[in-house]
Amino acid sequence: MQLEFTTEAIEWFKKELELPQEGKALHFFVRYGGEFQLKQGFSPAFNIENVKDIDEIGYEQTLDGLYVVVAEKDVWYFDDDQLNIDVKHDEITYEAQSK
């Protein structure tokens, strides 16, 4: 599992979501449906979470002060793939690469 962010995507998250914030994380999780489907029927989503509210962190990285996490219960979705995260036309985009 690997999440790769372009510099533009990092800057977008920092500006649009007003990150970094003390005790907060950019939390990627799995949702049902959606346009981009890494695994059939499911797509990635994100929100801002208090780090202490995330039960078990299964993946974490810090990029230019931006703390990114995936809960242990959602790691299955991202396993075996590299997810490239970019921004185009002021929207977050995803592209998958199999490892």
Cβ 76 vs Cβ 93: under 8 Å: no
**Domains of the chain listed by start with CATH number:** 2-98 (2.60.300.12)
Q: Residue 68: pLDDT above 80? A: yes
Least confident of 10-19, 57-66, 73-82, 86-95: 73-82
Q: Which two tokens stand for residue 21?
A: 């914030």
Distance CA 8, CA 26 (A): 16
In terms of Cβ atoms closer than 10 Å to its own Cβ (0-12, 13-18, 19+), residue 91 is exposed
Q: Residue 38 has what pLDDT?
A: 77
Q: Residue 2: pLDDT above 80? A: yes
Return the closest-CA partner of residue 90 out of 13, 37, 3, 34: 13
Q: Residue 37: pLDDT above 80? A: no
What percent of the chain clears pLDDT 90, i.e. is strictly above it? 78
Mean pLDDT of the region 51-72: 96
